[in-house]
Structure 1
Amino acid sequence: MAQDETKKKIFDVSLFKRLLDYIKPYRTVFIIALVCVIGLAVFGALRPYVLQEAVDTQIAKKKYDGFLFYIGIMLGLLVIEVICQLLFIYYASWLGQSVVKDIRVKLFRHMLKFRMAYFDKSSVGVLITRAVTDMERIADIFGQGLFMIFSDILKMAVVAGFMLFMNWKLSLIVFITMPIIVFATKVFQKYMKRAFEDVRTEVSNLNSFVQERVTGMKILQLFTRETTEYKKFKAINERHKKGWLKTVWYNSIFFPIAEFVSSLTLAMVILVGGYDVVSENPGTTLGHLVAFTMFIPMLFRPLYQIANKFNTLQMGMVAADRVFKVLDTDSNIDDVGTIEANHFKGEIEFDNVRFSYVKDEEVLKGISLHVDAGETVAIVGATGAGKSTIINLLNRFYEINSGHIKIDGIDITEMTLSSLRNQIAVVLQDVFLFADTILNNITLNNEYITEEDVITAAKAIGIHEFITTLPGGYHYNVKERGVMLSSGQRQLISFLRAYVTNPSILILDEATSSVDSYSEQLIQDATDTITKGRTSIVIAHRLATIQQADKIIVMDAGQIVEMGTHSSLLKKKGGYYKNLYEVQFLKAEVV
């Protein structure tokens, strides 16, 4: 209901005030732009007045001795107006881009601290729209909206003042028709705001759709879904087109009406004023008539162009509202810990931990486990058993419902978030690499990790030779998501990324589930090296890779059903692990 009320507002004052707060660091530039706006209004309105004086004192009386003087004044006013226009355009645009820079930086910093749950429920395309496209609309508020509207209103006020001062009778004719434009403008603004909200929604949908399909292009082509997705894209694009056509339709109605009323008013002024001049009625001169032919467009054009500029302002306001909603989203992990975790011994304890991604649908149902410092613990179980959830909770990507998670006897909520994660390295099954060099993907631009450190670490885990075979070696650009490397090579890079940080705790999540036998052997050798002397948690489907673990935890449906060494678990008659092991090796023998 509240959202509907917001949509009905022509202009959200509270939102606008919030936006103006970002101008405070740039007060000087704001004042310069404001002075230029005032200059445009005053000097622009002075030109018709000077022309009226020139006509009445020189041309009407057939005198030319002071004519050049008036021409010089008009040229001077024109030059000043041009300078004001130049300075206004530059400083207004500079102010807009500066404000947008600040908001974009704040938005990105805020997004970096979101819980994973926020990204689980949010579209990547929509977030990109907020951080890029919507920001440009906010910049337009200052470059084309706010100042231009203020300039037009001020110009209209000054022009109206000059008109009343010069000839109240002709002014009255002009002012009688103005309510028609005002009413039409108000109706136009109302419908255009709705149309622009629809446009922004469809832009977000379009960005989201394209981003997802480009990312998943291989899947679309493998399953020959090109035609289906093409039809979906056409439908979304059609809705986007219809949204924009609404704005075109409203413009095509409003502006011809406004021009017609303006031309009709000018005709009435010429008719009444011309009659007074010909009849030599007092109060109206030829100069008034000439000046009013300039004043009327100066009064009417800003009036109906305000509607167009108000549309720009509204588009920016709609975009600002969307951006501020992201900024107002309270989805951050509570980083209130005070303990700086410089190094862990590696003792981990889960004490009756309960957790759910979706309310009332528990994924972990009272998990309790203990890992001694330096131990290698394997976690096995069917898909959806809750294995990866344990990793997410240990890194505080999500907050638990109840229970405690402790490292070295200290609750992880008492530690600063950055120091906690700095001591835990994770190698995921789905390795993400940025469109950058291998070196930067390993160090993640950490200034404390040198290229020599990376090379030494690569030699230690046996993958230096593989990297040096690539063109450019450590400076080889792997392109977006690491597409220039095989899945096994990406996995090796992720092992090196984890190892070079010298973590206290290492987590391997399905690290060998989708690689070839050669890469698997390299990964196994790397695993033996990087797990030595540190607490390690290994999640694996291939039970052959975890037989040497100090402890194996077997999970099913969010609970620990068995725990022990490989040999002890195999001795349990009808045990979950034993059945799982026998099924895997029976399949291997069949193959």
Structure 2
Amino acid sequence: MKKEQVAGKAYDSKLLSRLAQYIRPYRTVFWISVVLTILLAAVAPALPMLVEHTVDRYILAGNPDGLTKMLIAMIALLLLQTVIRYFHTLMTNTLGQSVIRDIRIQVFEHITNLRLKYFDNTPIGRLITRTISDLETIANIFSEGLIQIIGDLLQLVVILLVMFYTDWRLTLVVLIPMPLMIAATYIFKEAMKSAFQSVRTWVSNLNTFLQEHISGMAIIQYFAREEQEMRKFKEINAEHRNAHIRANWYFSIFFPVLEVIVAIATGLLVWYGAKQILADSISPGVVVAFLMYITMIFRPIRELIDKFNTLQMGMISAERIFEVLDTQEFTPDEGNYQPETVRGKIEFKNVWFAYNDEKWVLKDISFTVQPGETLALVGATGAGKSSTINILSRFYEIQRGQILLDGVDIREYDLAYLRQTIATVLQDVFLFSDTILNNINLYDTTISMDAIVDAAKKVGAHEFIERLPGAYDYQVQERGSTLSAGQGQLISFIRALVHDPKILILDEATSSVDTETEQLIQSAIENLMDGRTAIVIAHRLSTIQRADKIIVLEKGEMLEAGSHQELLALDGAYKKLYDLQFNSAGL
């Protein structure tokens, strides 16, 4: 599997500024979080100051009377810190989850509007990674990253100011190992940047592999490819493991180094502080307080590293999310034509179409379908039949020529209106993991239950649906796996019928069903096509003999066009296909 490109930067102020725009609807929560952050920083040095006061004024002075008061004050301070920290955590997490909810909605909406060509070239697993795990990482920027970094920095500044104010000499002694800390931090930061990029890359690769192979499990088992695919999975999983191990290895080195630096600072403090106590230059309470300050200085520095790593991972994920959001592979929707009624006249005028560059799939195609007529497209696989219907709905854009609907270029129509005018029944029916009812109406509440039942009866599916547990409320499993191919196809017919399209497209709609179900569908197709323009693609020529016009395609070119009898009389490509099918069927 080819690795996806890793992000170029681990931190980008422009990305952070762009993320900050999503905070605007939650400004109140954000500023509450900031105020609570400042409060936490402000009360941080209070406990060591109370301890210093207790040691010097009460313990060393042999005055037990004030110890109880100081104990109560310390407990009250700890309770205050606990309450502030609780609301701080609540606010920051609320902010983070609210922001990613909005971004996830925007990403999903953006993805659903991208043209199909984008999905042809982009692994679905990668998009799943973007909308789930990458967004969760971005949430950590707000709940554990940015605001926490600000809080740790504030706490560090406040404590240092208090320390310098209390005794600047002791403070300088404590800070002697600080250059070692800065150097170790810089090296660690650079190493973690590369490690986190690698982790995110292999998470995406792993998701992509799993999505593709679980979806295609039937093919793997049909061809006994389990062992080979398992080897591929082990390779990707090993890279995923190694990426995490590398990241954890840097942590396993850095934090012991940090502990050594803290130990050095503590040793220097005890050595110098003891000398000053013996010289009666400072009180023992100050040294005790400074021992607490050391922990409070280096703990924020250690947490800053954690939070900075969180910020790095969030930046990497943000870059990938915005890469999706910045993708502008949309079908141009500049038209606004929405007539009250559509008659259904379709005209292709010298249409040329290619998926990539100028490898033409359709070459100079021209034909006309009058309102209410049925056009059949026949030809070998790769002849261009499915491409013809895809460009009619503007799933792909033509490079040359013109397609007209009722005499108006389809690019002048409102895109949603155009697609609502056309209903397509595909050979490979897709059903969502939902009820049969919702798979039919697609959550369109304007479609009544009576209309659905009436359509089901016309298609001949009402009886089998009623026999299912829950009938129309029967839960269809993923991709309709609990239904037969014929049953799924019948449901797709109901779906097309209830949305009342003016143009109907049947793309190999009966090729996956048995003969009995095909006969059932054929009897329903007449009701479905009544008053509608239809384009039918079928390998079985028996299903299209009644079509008003049949076009034979070969390698993107029109070979023949006419009615069934006219094409047979030509004794050309259609006649050869007809004789081949019916002779092989023993007819």
Whether TM-score is above 0.5 comes out as yes
Bigger drift between 498-507 and 206-215 goes to 206-215
Deviation at 1:5, TM superposition (A): 11
User: In the alignment, what sits opposite 1:146?
Assistant: 146
1:459 aligns with 2:457: yes
Deviation at 1:66, TM superposition (A): 3.4
Structure 2 SS opposite 1:340: coil
Residue 59 of structure 2 aligns with an amino acid whose one-letter code is I
Contact 1:49 / 1:162 at 8 angstroms: preserved in 2?
A: no
Contact 1:185 / 1:304 at 8 angstroms: preserved in 2?
A: no
Q: How far apart in 1 are the matches of 2:7 and 2:316?
A: 10
Deviation at 1:349, TM superposition (A): 0.7
Q: How far apart in 1 are the matches of 2:183 and 2:106?
A: 40
Residue 336 of structure 2 aligns with an amino acid whose one-letter code is T
Contact 1:181 / 1:304 at 8 angstroms: preserved in 2?
A: no
1:576 aligns with 2:573: yes
Structure 1 SS opposite 2:335: coil
Q: What whole-Å deviation, never above 9, does each CA across 1:143-192 have from its counterpart, x for those lacking one?
A: 11112211111111011001100111111112221121122112111111
Residue 36 of structure 1 aligns with an amino acid whose one-letter code is L
For residues 242-261 of structure 1, what are the structure 2 equivalents within 5 Å? 242-261=242-261
For residues 286-435 of structure 1, what are the structure 2 equivalents within 5 Å? 286-435=284-433
Structure 2 SS opposite 1:370: strand
User: In the alignment, what sits opposite 2:86?
Assistant: 86
Contact 2:6 / 2:197 at 8 angstroms: preserved in 1?
A: no
User: In the alignment, what sits opposite 1:97?
Assistant: 97
Q: How far apart in 1 are the matches of 2:578 and 2:40?
A: 83
For residues 220-239 of structure 1, what are the structure 2 equivalents within 5 Å? 220-239=220-239
Contact 2:170 / 2:269 at 8 angstroms: preserved in 1?
A: yes
Deviation at 1:237, TM superposition (A): 0.6
Q: How far apart in 1 are the matches of 2:65 and 2:279?
A: 28
User: In the alignment, what sits opposite 1:504?
Assistant: 502
Q: How far apart in 1 are the matches of 2:263 and 2:468?
A: 73
Deviation at 1:489, TM superposition (A): 1.0
User: In the alignment, what sits opposite 1:217?
Assistant: 217
Q: How far apart in 2 are the matches of 1:497 and 1:4?
A: 41
Unmatched tracts of structure 1, length 5 or more: none
Q: How far apart in 2 are the matches of 1:120 and 1:5?
A: 21
Structure 1 SS opposite 2:372: coil
1:526 aligns with 2:524: yes
Change in Cα spacing, 1:16 to 1:516, as seen in structure 2 (3 Å) is same
Residue 69 of structure 1 aligns with an amino acid whose one-letter code is K
Q: How far apart in 2 are the matches of 1:468 and 1:43?
A: 68
Change in Cα spacing, 1:471 to 1:67, as seen in structure 2 (3 Å) is closer
Contact 1:341 / 1:419 at 8 angstroms: preserved in 2?
A: no
User: In the alignment, what sits opposite 2:473?
Assistant: 475
User: In the alignment, what sits opposite 2:514?
Assistant: 516
Q: What whole-Å deviation, never above 9, does each CA across 1:385-426 have from its counterpart, x for those lacking one?
A: 111011111111111112211100111111111111111110
Q: How far apart in 2 are the matches of 1:269 and 1:377?
A: 91
Residue 504 of structure 1 aligns with an amino acid whose one-letter code is K
Q: How far apart in 1 are the matches of 2:290 and 2:119?
A: 60
Q: What whole-Å deviation, never above 9, does each CA across 1:48-98 have from its counterpart, x for those lacking one?
A: 122212222222322334343333332232222111100011010010000
RMSD: 1.5
Q: How far apart in 1 are the matches of 2:495 and 2:365?
A: 30
User: In the alignment, what sits opposite 1:548?
Assistant: 546
1:240 aligns with 2:236: no
Deviation at 1:312, TM superposition (A): 1.3
Deviation at 1:222, TM superposition (A): 1.5
User: In the alignment, what sits opposite 1:120?
Assistant: 120
Deviation at 1:341, TM superposition (A): 4.1
User: In the alignment, what sits opposite 1:169?
Assistant: 169
Identity of aligned residues (%): 48
Q: How far apart in 2 are the matches of 1:360 and 1:190?
A: 45
Bigger drift between 343-352 and 472-481 goes to 472-481
Deviation at 1:461, TM superposition (A): 2.9
Contact 1:277 / 1:286 at 8 angstroms: preserved in 2?
A: yes
Contact 2:551 / 2:560 at 8 angstroms: preserved in 1?
A: yes
1:588 aligns with 2:585: yes
Structure 2 SS opposite 1:120: helix
Deviation at 1:304, TM superposition (A): 2.3
Structure 2 SS opposite 1:393: helix
Contact 1:10 / 1:190 at 8 angstroms: preserved in 2?
A: no
Contact 2:51 / 2:285 at 8 angstroms: preserved in 1?
A: yes
Contact 1:425 / 1:503 at 8 angstroms: preserved in 2?
A: yes
1:184 aligns with 2:181: no
User: In the alignment, what sits opposite 1:276?
Assistant: 276
Deviation at 1:4, TM superposition (A): 9.5
Q: TM-score, normalised by structure 2?
A: 0.97
Residue 89 of structure 1 aligns with an amino acid whose one-letter code is T
1:131 aligns with 2:131: yes
Q: How far apart in 2 are the matches of 1:154 and 1:435?
A: 50
Residue 276 of structure 1 aligns with an amino acid whose one-letter code is Q
Q: How far apart in 1 are the matches of 2:13 and 2:340?
A: 48
Residue 262 of structure 1 aligns with an amino acid whose one-letter code is V
Unmatched tracts of structure 2, length 5 or more: none
Structure 2 SS opposite 1:363: strand
Q: How far apart in 2 are the matches of 1:305 and 1:360?
A: 56
Residue 299 of structure 2 aligns with an amino acid whose one-letter code is R
Q: How far apart in 2 are the matches of 1:74 and 1:51?
A: 8
Structure 2 SS opposite 1:514: coil
Residue 142 of structure 1 aligns with an amino acid whose one-letter code is F
Q: How far apart in 2 are the matches of 1:458 and 1:133?
A: 41
Structure 2 SS opposite 1:132: helix
Contact 2:176 / 2:265 at 8 angstroms: preserved in 1?
A: no
Q: TM-score, normalised by structure 1?
A: 0.96
Q: How far apart in 2 are the matches of 1:10 and 1:380?
A: 54
Contact 2:459 / 2:490 at 8 angstroms: preserved in 1?
A: no
Q: How far apart in 1 are the matches of 2:125 and 2:144?
A: 27
Change in Cα spacing, 1:587 to 1:330, as seen in structure 2 (3 Å) is same
Structure 2 SS opposite 1:61: coil
Q: How far apart in 1 are the matches of 2:349 and 2:408?
A: 12
Bigger drift between 334-343 and 551-560 goes to 334-343
Q: How far apart in 2 are the matches of 1:528 and 1:417?
A: 28
